[in-house]
Amino acid sequence: MSKPIDVTIVGGGMITADQLLPSIYQLQRTGMVGRIEVCALDSSPLRVLKASEEFRQAFPEQEFIAHPSEAEDPQQRFPTLYKTVVAAMPKRQAVVVAVPDELHYDVIMEALRNEQHVLSVKPLVHRYTQAVEIEKLALAKGLFIGIEYHKRFDRRSLIARKHYESGDFGEFVMGEAKMIEPYFYRSSNFQKWFTWDKTDPFVYVGCHYVDLVQFITGLKPVRVSVSGVKGKFPNGNVGYLWANGRVIYENGAILSVTDGLGYPDEGAGSNEQCLMMFCEGAGKTGLIAHDDQFRGVEHSYLKGIGCAGSVFNYVSPDFFRLVPWEGPGYKPIGYGYDSVEAILGTIHRIENEVADLPAADSLTRRQAIIREVDARAIIATPANSNTNELVTEAARLSILNDGHMVNIAYGDSPHVELAK
Ligand SMILES: NC(=O)c1ccc[n+]([C@@H]2O[C@H](COP(=O)([O-])OP(=O)(O)OC[C@H]3O[C@@H](n4cnc5c(N)ncnc54)[C@H](O)[C@@H]3O)[C@@H](O)[C@H]2O)c1
């Protein structure tokens, strides 16, 4: 009998509601996950999760423990409560980090200090040195860190990687990616933290395609330039609402990435996303083209139950859907689920493999499995994806300098610098 792992999700916002919690509920059904706790800054998102009709229908027999309690005054803030909750967990379970980007580092370090494995939503952190610090501490303690770049688990990405590795496309030379999130994001919780000084659409969603191109090709990015267009959120905060970035790779290949918070709410969307990569072969060229928006399914509803209240929708059956199955309620399907399952499955496998080992052997075995997963590079880890942090640093430096080119210097102490 395998032993389930307990999970504490820190953060109760959009990504928890749309992907993480339903995936983890399903893993509780399969026996991989035991107790589920969710900790937020205040009770308001927890009340929403608790009252969700969708969850009641999909997971009629399941619940999570809320911190603070959903009965707590929603005006009351608990910025450090997650520390108490994580400290109270049995050792070597899983902490899922789903707070705004700038809090990832603190929550991950707290989890590691308390001997917990980690699933972190992307991006792991915004600074390369922090990624390396996390990688070293986690490996020393034999704790696994998985970064939830779910596009890696889209079947089309896995197929592209297999063919690229086999040389079936040739060598990547020129590409284009787009991810334009819906306009209504501007009036969500985003407006509180998506300010120009903290982040931008390239760092927020462009990172998915930057990660994916490296996942498919294994090429290292060496130069980055990002330009942005600022605008006001409904609460008056100013943020970059649009961004365009150019990433140049070690072989000279160029990827252009366009991102924004502005796909029309009335559109069939629910967002715009795509990837096109041209490759050079011997005497001919190769091509990878993914339409990640329109995946061949159209729905027109009687009521405005689509994205942002829309009626006619392009429906992606691939990312995350709750569908009928043989069991109670509905089950999640798609690469959003597969990705969470792969990361928590790795933690579960590690702990079950070492369950009967003496402490020293357990540590050695855990470290060996972590190195194996790093080397396989299917799941993003701090060791195999820290170029993402370098691209993020370079992008921030570039966008704050009007799109000036930024070089990524590798070597003994990788860093970024404005090009001369
Ligand atoms: N495609 C993706 O991979 C994807 C999509 C969406 C979001 N994300 C990532 O998920 C993270 C969260 O995004 P979101 O859209 O859910 O944000 P959100 O604003 O909807 O939710 C943030 C949550 O963090 C909680 N929080 C803030 N401070 C806290 C604290 N001190 N202690 C405990 N909880 C705290 C808030 O209560 C809120 O529930 C971000 O890092 C984002 O980049 C990834």
CB 334 less than 6 A from any atom of ligand 1: no
**CA 359 to ligand 1 centroid distance, Å:** 35
The pLDDT, as a whole number, for residue 189 is 84
Residues 173, 278: contact at Cβ < 8 Å?
yes
The pLDDT, as a whole number, for residue 321 is 97
CB 154 less than 6 A from any atom of ligand 1: no
CB 48 less than 6 A from any atom of ligand 1: no
pLDDT exceeds 80 at position 1: no
Question: Where does the pLDDT of residue 303 fall: very low under 50, low under 70, confident under 90, or very high at 90 and above?
Answer: very high
CB 101 less than 6 A from any atom of ligand 1: yes
CB 82 less than 6 A from any atom of ligand 1: yes
pLDDT in tens, 18-46: 999 999 999 999 999 999 999 999 999 99
Residues 270, 189: contact at Cβ < 8 Å?
no
pLDDT exceeds 80 at position 342: yes
CB 377 less than 6 A from any atom of ligand 1: no
Query: Which residues make Cβ contacts (< 8 Å) with residue 210, sequence separation at least 6?
Result: 221, 247, 255, 257, 388, 391
CA distance 417 to 403: 13
CB 12 less than 6 A from any atom of ligand 1: yes
Residues 280, 170: contact at Cβ < 8 Å?
yes
The pLDDT, as a whole number, for residue 355 is 96
| Residue 17 C-alpha from the chain's centroid | 14
Task: Tell which atom from ligand 1 comes closest to the C-alpha of 190.
Answer: 19
> How crowded is the C-beta side of 126, counted as CA atoms within 13 Å?
17
Residues 379, 159: contact at Cβ < 8 Å?
no
Task: Tell which atom from ligand 1 comes closest to the C-alpha of 149.
Answer: 3
Cα–Cα separations (whole angstroms), residue 352 to 43, 85, 90, 199, 344: 34, 23, 15, 39, 12
Mean residue pLDDT across the chain: 97
Task: Tell which atom from ligand 1 comes closest to the C-alpha of 40.
Answer: 34
Residues 97, 109: contact at Cβ < 8 Å?
no
The pLDDT, as a whole number, for residue 307 is 84
Cα–Cα separations (whole angstroms), residue 152 to 32, 57, 104, 409: 22, 29, 21, 26
Q: Which two tokens stand for residue 172?
A: 């990547």
By the 10 Å C-beta count (0-12 exposed, 13-18 middle, 19+ buried), 127 is classed as middle
pLDDT in tens, 73-88: 999 999 999 999 999 9
CB 40 less than 6 A from any atom of ligand 1: yes
Count of residues in the chain = 420
Question: Where does the pLDDT of residue 244 fall: very low under 50, low under 70, confident under 90, or very high at 90 and above?
Answer: very high
**CA 310 to ligand 1 centroid distance, Å:** 25
**CA 42 to ligand 1 centroid distance, Å:** 13
Q: What percent of the chain has pLDDT over 70?
A: 100
Task: Tell which atom from ligand 1 comes closest to the C-alpha of 189.
Answer: 19
By the 10 Å C-beta count (0-12 exposed, 13-18 middle, 19+ buried), 99 is classed as buried
**CA 98 to ligand 1 centroid distance, Å:** 5
Query: Which residues make Cβ contacts (< 8 Å) with residue 106, sequence separation at least 6?
Result: none
CA distance 409 to 307: 42
pLDDT in tens, 316-332: 999 999 999 999 999 99
Q: Which protein residue has the closest C-alpha to ligand 1 atom 5? A: 15
Cα–Cα separations (whole angstroms), residue 270 to 19, 155, 200, 292, 409: 16, 20, 20, 11, 38
pLDDT in tens, 126-176: 899 999 999 999 999 999 999 999 999 999 999 999 999 999 999 999 999
> Of 58-72, 124-138, 296-310, which gets the smallest average pLDDT?
296-310
Helices (H) and strands (E) in the chain, counts: 15, 18
Q: Which protein residue has the closest C-alpha to ligand 1 atom 4? A: 15
Question: Where does the pLDDT of residue 269 fall: very low under 50, low under 70, confident under 90, or very high at 90 and above?
Answer: confident
pLDDT exceeds 80 at position 292: yes
CA distance 309 to 331: 24
Higher per-residue confidence, 307 vs 364: 364
The pLDDT, as a whole number, for residue 190 is 85
